[in-house]
Amino acid sequence: MVLSGAEIVIRCLQEEKVEYVFGYPGGAVLFLYDALFQQDQVRHVLVRHEQAAVHAADGFARSTEKVGVALVTSGPGATNAVTGIATAFCDSIPMVIISGQVPTAAIGQDAFQEVDTVGITRPCVKHNFLVKDVRDIALTMKKAFYLARTGRPGPVLVDIPKDVTMQRCEFEYPKEISMRSYNPVVKGHSGQIKKAVQLLLEAKRPMIYTGGGVVLANAAEQITRLTRLLGYPITNTLMGLGGYPFGDRQYLGMPGMHGTFEANMAMHYSDVLLAVGARFDDRVIGNPAHFAEEPRKIIHIDIDPSSISKRVKVDVPIVGDVREVLEEMIRQLEAGEVRPNPDALAAWWKQVEEWRSRRCMAYKNSDEIIKPQFVIQKLWEVTGGEAIVTSDVGQHQMWAAQYYGFDKPRRWLNSGGLGTMGVGLPYAMGAKLANPDMQVACVTGEASIQMNIQELSTCRQFRLPIKICNLNNRYLGMVRQWQELFHGGRYSESYMDSLPDFAKLAESYGHVGIRVDRPADVEGALREAFTTYKNELVFLDFQIDATENVYPMVQGGKGLTEMILSAEDL
Amino acid sequence: MRHVISLLIENESGALSRVSGLFSARGYNIESLTVAPTEDLSMSRMTIVTTGSDDIIEQITKQLNKLVEVVKVVDISEAAHIERELMLVKVRATGKDREEIKRTADIFRAHIIDVTDASYVVELTGNQGKLDAFIGAIDPALILETVRSGVCGVGRGDRVLKV
């Protein structure tokens, strides 16, 4: 069948079973939008800013296991998308971004709305393509989806000049794809797995540390089985929350800068550390030199060899798909006779429980002023712990991660690697479209929400009943916290002046707005939002304690054992 | 430590900038980089001379392997290998200097490939040390231009980098 380039692109999306494309039209993509208009299989979500298009597609991908798709025009359309692309790249989210480009003859002529999109995005994509011939579109799209979802996932950008979308050629979507330069490993090395199992069984102070890789590989079930089989303590990083059920006794909470005392101490003093789909990030292990001071054997399972021995030396590296490797470990454990040493394990658990008894997550609640931790706990109660929770970046992100107990993967969407303010609302949009029957809450702050607040309009157009929980403290809270602790209380530009009345603002977009000032009203307002206004977007503007800080805390550059547990430690 | 990394990469536009961008983004050194298509025109071979600790070199090879267009990566300096670099030097050659440069070129087994009344172009192939020695042997005031290709390398004997 002979089709235009634009029709071919849309046909490729259909072949890939793409349900939603998030985008914004413009000159260079007019033919693509025309082709989109003439079919109804792929639905388009018109955002109000290209950054939000990419974030929403990213949120769609995070909350499912599908590839998120965004469509933007050339020049400013592409540059606006860059933050979204980099955000997805840092968290290894499978995405395909299609950008329009000026006609091939105009490339390099400083044409209207021309930028070197492939050049600009090169460092923040898994791969990108400039399609110069209509006959290459189908194969390129096939490659893009294949690259995005296999190996260590990531965003792939396809830049298509306008004339290429007009030209016509025969369309056939390739069924198979193979690339001699790209062959991601799936199965782990069996000898290494054997070594790892043996090391784990010999451990006296074992610890399991899992990250976003477990979520991305859909390996929550496997890590849970393995952890229970061994009876060892486990921690999930910010990106890995929900990988292991929050309420379980073996779960020690999140590690790292704002992790729990017990998780950090157990990480540090373990003699065998099993790292799964995690990358020893600076926000997780703090100072690597301090971390290396304590002798321990490290087993590291990761799909990406370059993540292994990057920040800490690893003793047993296993490259492979996390789920496959965990399955094999479970098989070997179950087939073998050896079981963990019960005495050593009991002694270790005694120590861990002692650390846990410090109750580092306790906070002082108040009848007078709303504490942010209290809001999150109530949100958890009201939603039965079953909501998809998105967040922006800052204090509210940490409180949400700390106090909303995630029992399942793909329920917690946040920008862990890049730390992009403004992702929360578009993530919630993508998640709601992908999971229409689930409750979706966006935990945000008055600063972050304003970075993509225009999307309230998109939410109205597409009737997305998201519940926005704005923890409004009139400050760039995390900046203020660091300034209070490390910059002599000089609050340089960290306050938020001239704030809108968020409830009224939401109403002006056609949503429901509720302002909450007193702790006694928190639960009622949440219940109202999730029941009375079940089918509406509700903007809950919680006026919270402006001076509340996130604890526990490991100061930047310090070691995991050098924690500040509360303001009294200062 | 100095390392010589050889790699095969798909011969596509932008492939070179992916490699050079990787080095600049991650703060790795490039001492020299050469690239040209192989006998299979769909593929280019690149030789990168870099310096770094063992950890850094390990990361460099891993990061290069991660690039989608890179087919194979080998640190050829890990074992016996041969390095060669081509140099073209244009020198002022008048009076008694003409003879002296010719003699020096002969000693280094270089060729004079362009001759005018006032200048020579000397072509010299060898490892970096030999090329440096030739430059050192010539009066700096006589050198008009120096063009070096950067290092090409290949493993000795059975070690073959091929798809």
Cβ atoms within 10 Å of B24's Cβ, excluding its own: 11
Q: Which of A122, A127, A305 sits opposite B17 (nearest CB)?
A: A122
Q: For chain A, which residues lie within 8 Å of any Cβ of chain B, measuring from their own Cβ? A: 118-119, 122-123, 126-127, 130, 147, 179-182, 304-306, 309-310
Pairing of strands B70-75, B2-10: antiparallel
Please judge whether A306 and B71 are an interchain contact, meaning their C-beta atoms are less than 8 angstroms apart.
no
Residues B133 and B126: their CA atoms lie apart, in Å, by: 10
Total-model pTM:
0.96
Q: Which of B17, B58, B71 sits opposite A309 (nearest CB)?
A: B58
Helix (H) or strand (E) holding A366: none
Residue of A nearest to B70 (CA): A181
Q: Enter the tokens of residue B5.
A: 């990394």
Q: Enter the tokens of residue B128.
A: 């970096």
- Write down the ipTM of this complex: 0.93
**Which residues pair with residue A544 across a beta bridge?**
A370
* Cβ(A366)–Cβ(A545) below 8 Å: yes
Please judge whether A147 and B68 are an interchain contact, meaning their C-beta atoms are less than 8 angstroms apart.
yes
Residues A459 and A45: their CA atoms lie apart, in Å, by: 10
Q: Enter the tokens of residue A240.
A: 């890995």
Look up residue A188 and give its DSSP letter.
P
The average confidence (pLDDT) of chain A is: 97
Residues A384 and B29: their CA atoms lie apart, in Å, by: 53
Closest listed residue to residue B126, CA positions, set B152, B106, B154:
B152
- Residue of A124, A140, A145, A181 to mutate for B, most B C-beta atoms under 10 A: A181
From chain A, pick out residues whose CB is under 8 angstroms from the CB of B14. Answer: 118-119, 122, 130
Distances (CA, A) of A436 to A64, A429, B62: 12, 10, 41
- pLDDT of res. A428: 98
Confidence of residue A567 (pLDDT cuts 50, 70, 90): confident
Please judge whether B10 and A181 are an interchain contact, meaning their C-beta atoms are less than 8 angstroms apart.
yes
Pairing of strands A2-4, A168-170: antiparallel
Backbone angles phi, psi at A167, to 5 degrees: -65, 160
* Local confidence pLDDT in tens for the 163 residues of chain B: 999 999 999 999 899 999 999 999 999 999 999 999 999 999 999 999 999 999 999 999 999 999 999 999 999 999 999 999 999 999 999 999 999 999 999 999 999 999 999 999 999 999 999 999 999 999 999 999 999 999 999 999 999 999 8
Name the fold adopted by B2-78: Alpha-Beta Plaits (3.30.70)
CATH homologous superfamily of B82-155 equals: ACT-like. Chain A, domain 2 (3.30.70.1150)
From chain A, pick out residues whose CB is under 8 angstroms from the CB of B10. Answer: 181
- CA distance, residue A122 to nearest chain B CA (Å): 7
Average pLDDT over residues A201-208: 97
Cβ atoms within 10 Å of A384's Cβ, excluding its own: 9
Query: Residue written as tokens 């390739």?
Result: A174
- CA distance, residue B106 to nearest chain A CA (Å): 45
Active site residues of A: 50, 112-113, 162, 478
CA A180 from chain centre, in angstroms, equals 31
B9 touches chain A (CB under 8 A): yes
pLDDT tens digits along A318-348:
999 999 999 999 999 999 999 999 999 999 9
Domains of chain A and any CATH numbers: 2-170 (3.40.50.970), 190-356 (3.40.50.1220), 372-550 (3.40.50.970)
Confidence of residue A377 (pLDDT cuts 50, 70, 90): very high
* Cβ(A378)–Cβ(A522) below 8 Å: yes
- CA distance, residue B138 to nearest chain A CA (Å): 43
From chain A, pick out residues whose CB is under 8 angstroms from the CB of B9. Answer: 181
Same fold across B2-78 and B82-155:
yes
pLDDT beyond 80 at A570: no
- pLDDT of res. A569: 81
A476-485: long-range pairs with CB below 8 Å, 24+: A476/A394, A476/A447, A477/A394, A477/A395, A477/A396, A477/A445, A477/A447, A477/A548, A477/A550, A478/A393, A478/A394, A478/A395, A478/A398, A478/A550, A479/A394, A481/A395, A481/A549, A481/A550, A484/A549, A485/A549, A485/A555, A485/A570
Q: On the CB side of A536, how many CA atoms lie within 13 Å of its CA?
A: 17
Residues A408 and A402: their CA atoms lie apart, in Å, by: 15
pLDDT tens digits along A355-366:
999 999 999 999
Question: A107: burial class by Cβ within 10 Å (0-12, 13-18, 19+)?
Answer: middle
Please judge whether B68 and A306 are an interchain contact, meaning their C-beta atoms are less than 8 angstroms apart.
no
- pLDDT of res. A152: 97
Query: What's the sign of the alpha-carbon dihedral A238, A239, A241, A243?
Result: negative
Boundaries of every domain in chain B: 2-78, 82-155
